[in-house]
Amino acid sequence: MKRILAFIMAIALALPLMQSCGSTSAIGRRHMNKAAVNNLVRNYSNRDGFDVVSVGGMGLSLMKLGARVANIGSSNSKSAIKMISGLKSLRVVDYSNASEYDRNTFDRKLERYLGNTDVLMESREGGDITRIYGIVPEDGSKIEDLVVYDPTSSTLVCLFGTFDIDQVRDLIAKD
């Protein structure tokens, strides 16, 4: 989770720079095919080797309530709750135990569905690749619908919702 937050922070820091340089014209013009990604995950969720955890609105509300109760006075907790208040659904897929054919087919389909979405950040470490896809509107004030995709470890994390850049910065600065 810290790696994801570090990626988001790097994006949050880079957005104002891109905006001041006038390079945000491409950002925010692409759209994520959320329905296709969700259908892909749903279609593969019953296959051998695919472990899927999905948390919708009610589950996220209960998690936020639990976080509030557990850390009533913590400023980090308040910042985290504010940051995730825009989260509408969460999906985590681990398909590292799937057959090679299923992994490759899933990867090809996912990459096709994410093809029209901006890669906000890509990390290459040795042979490992992690990409973060998302939508950033022209004003650069928020990030919508983040997808963290690691084909090397066969992991997908979908954070569908809207995240305020300033809240992300504040949370990571306190960490």
The predicted-structure confidence for 27-65, as pLDDT tens digits, reads as follows: 444 678 889 999 999 999 999 999 999 888 777 777 766
Residue 56, pLDDT score: 81
* Amino acid (1-letter code) at residue 56: G
DSSP state of 165: H
List, in order, residues 6 or more apart from 58 with CB less than 8 Å away.
none
User: Most confidently modeled of 23-27, 109-113, 126-130?
Assistant: 109-113
pLDDT digits (tens, 9 = 90+) for 65-119: 676 666 655 666 666 666 677 888 889 999 999 999 999 999 999 999 998 888 8
Mean pLDDT score of the chain: 77
- Tokens 């899927």 correspond to 52
Cβ–Cβ < 8 Å for 154, 83: no
Residue 122's DSSP bridge partners are 131
Q: For residue 69, what pLDDT is reported?
A: 67
Q: How many structural domains is the chain composed of?
A: 1
pTM of the model: 0.73
Residues 35/56/92/97 CA torsion (nearest 10 deg): -90
* pLDDT surpasses 50 at 171: yes
Kindly tell me if the per-residue pLDDT of 144 is higher than 90.
no
For residues 123-140, give the mean pLDDT. 85
Domain residues for 55? 2-174
What is the rounded distance in angstroms from the CA atom of residue 117 to the CA atom of residue 36?
13
Most confident of 114-118, 133-137, 148-152, 170-174: 148-152
Q: At 26, phi and psi to the nearest 5?
A: -85, -25
**pLDDT score of 68:** 65
Sheet holding 128-135, edge to edge: 51-55, 87-94, 155-164, 142-150, 128-135, 118-125
List, in order, residues 6 or more apart from 1 with CB less than 8 Å away: none
Q: How confident is the model at residue 143 (pLDDT cuts 50, 70, 90)?
A: confident
